[in-house]
Amino acid sequence: MNQKKVAEDLRAIPFAARRQHFLSQIVAQTENAVAIVPAHSELIRNHDVHFKFRQDTNFYYLTGFEEPDAIAVFRNVGGKREYVLFVRPKDLAQEIWTGYRTGVDAAVSTCGADRAYSISDFDQQLPKLLQGADRFYYSFYKTNQRNGVEHLDQKILRHLDSYRASQGRSGRGFLPIFDAAELLGEMRIFKSPEELDRLRRAGDITARVHTEVMARTKAGLYEFQIEALLEYLARDAGCERHGYPSIVAGGKNATILHYVENAEKLNDGELLLIDAGFECDYHTADITRTYPINGKMSAPQQEIYQVVLNVQKECIRLAKPGATLAAIHAFAIDALTDAMIALKFLSGDRKKLIETLAYKRYYPHGTGHLLGMDVHDAGLYQQNGAPRLLEPGMVFTIEPGFYVLHDDAQVPAHYRGIGVRIEDDVVITPEGCEVLTAKAPKEIADMASVIGTKPWLTV
């Protein structure tokens, strides 16, 4: 079983209520529907060694079941609701090598399934489960192809075609297919009290981890040493794993948005950008802090940092019910473009520089994204052709940045290679928003009073 130390005293997730809600949602616009939500399979790293397993988020959201190679079927036909689970069967020899399996019998008693079967019976059972459906929910292109095994997407299409053929001269066509992920995204976008417990805990631990790493940062360390310390501290505090590979980027590496090599030495006089977030019971934080490796920013570093910090704090003030992520992003673009003009990185009319996307040279990414069980979480960003209005319970990041490539001949040399991003996580409240990651310092003076105040840990 996965480590759950961190979640022991949190309110329990009501998986059964989620399933009931999902079962009612699949028939919201039809009479009879069937949805298939598969678990992940294990991914091969090399030969017979696998990558560490993490369950598919939607599957876990509905089942709480953490084993690979399972399929959940949700059936609401003729007013009868059913949750059918296909799992790996008990197998003593396999369990000796790779661990405990719940098995078919216990899948009913421990997972709350109405019926359970071996995963090897899926092919045989699916035609019966499809009977009576007039709508089908499934997410294509989400599962992995495994050598010698029919891809689940192909299997599903084969069965849907057989189902169509079995209707004879009824005039019925192929069952209409809807993406289950979209429905589940709309369930996941509003965080329940139980989910907020976990996101608060993930935000709190991750913020404290960033602060502790800040205190132990010094020139001469390698980026991967910082990465290892982040992981150690987060796991020690009870998080299960990172929500995404940590970005530990010294100096000009900070201008590479998804730098994950984390292989270089930290140099005196340079900035360090750390984008790292850890999961608490399948809910992740996503924090970025940028600070001087030796504790003191140079004047150009400070200039750019302060621009980003001011924009980030203003964006947080804008996050409230009725606002939109698009409006917050538009504000960040305006303010950062003004700074690019003031610093003489760009010249001309602000409106034009925005229309022509000239600002993207220094600010190429969005200002925030939905956050939850996935770092880039589920849910619609647009509704009825317009940006979605923010509502209480929605959680997202606010992460403006400013990046100057090391060879940008358009700007004075002392700005080159500076990359700054500041990222916090917020939940919308009736009054505004609550910052879930406030414990990680971001004011220049606050960070200076932490950086380098503790010794590095060695054995």
CA distance 396 to 382: 15
- 399 is an interface residue for ligand GLY by CB under 6 A: yes
**Residue number, nearest CB to ligand GLY:** 275
CA distance 133 to 212: 55
Question: Which one of 403, 415, 424, 425 is the catalytic residue?
Answer: 403
- 434 forms beta bridges with 427
Q: Specify whether 403 is catalytic.
A: yes
- 275 is an interface residue for ligand GLY by CB under 6 A: yes
* Residue 244 interacting entry, from ligand GLY, Mn ion, none, C-beta within 5 to 8 Å by type: ligand GLY
Residue 137 buriedness (CB in 10 A; 0-12 / 13-18 / 19+): buried
Smallest distance from Mn ion to CB 275, Å: 4
Q: Specify whether 414 is catalytic.
A: no
CA distance 67 to 54: 9
Question: Which one of 223, 399, 424, 425 is the catalytic residue?
Answer: 399
CB atoms under 10 Å from CB of 407, counted, come to: 8
Identify the CA nearest to 243 among candidates 189, 205, 194, 192: 205
Among 375, 389, 405, 444, binds ligand GLY (CB under 6 A): 375
- Tell me the pairing of strands 419-421 and 401-403: antiparallel
CB atoms under 10 Å from CB of 423, counted, come to: 24
- 286 is an interface residue for ligand GLY by CB under 6 A: yes
Q: Which is nearer to Mn ion, 56 or 275 (CB)?
A: 275
Q: Specify whether 258 is catalytic.
A: yes
Smallest distance from Mn ion to CB 208, Å: 17
CA distance 89 to 339: 61
Q: What is the DSSP string of 99-113?
A: ----HHHHHHHHH--
**Which positions touch Mn ion (CB under 5 A)?**
275, 286, 397, 423
Smallest distance from ligand GLY to CB 179, Å: 23
- 142 forms beta bridges with none
Numbers of helices and strands, H then E, in the chain = 13, 20
Question: Which one of 164, 350, 365, 388 is the catalytic residue?
Answer: 365
Residues 217-246 that bind ligand GLY (CB under 6 A): 244
Q: Specify whether 240 is catalytic.
A: no
Q: Specify whether 423 is catalytic.
A: yes
CA distance 249 to 267: 11
Q: Specify whether 399 is catalytic.
A: yes
Smallest distance from ligand GLY to CB 223, Å: 16
Q: Which is nearer to ligand GLY, 248 or 447 (CB)?
A: 248
Q: Which residues bind ligand GLY (CB under 6 A)?
A: 244, 275, 286, 369, 375, 399, 423
Catalytic residue numbers, as ranges: 48, 258, 275, 286, 365, 369, 376, 399, 403, 421, 423
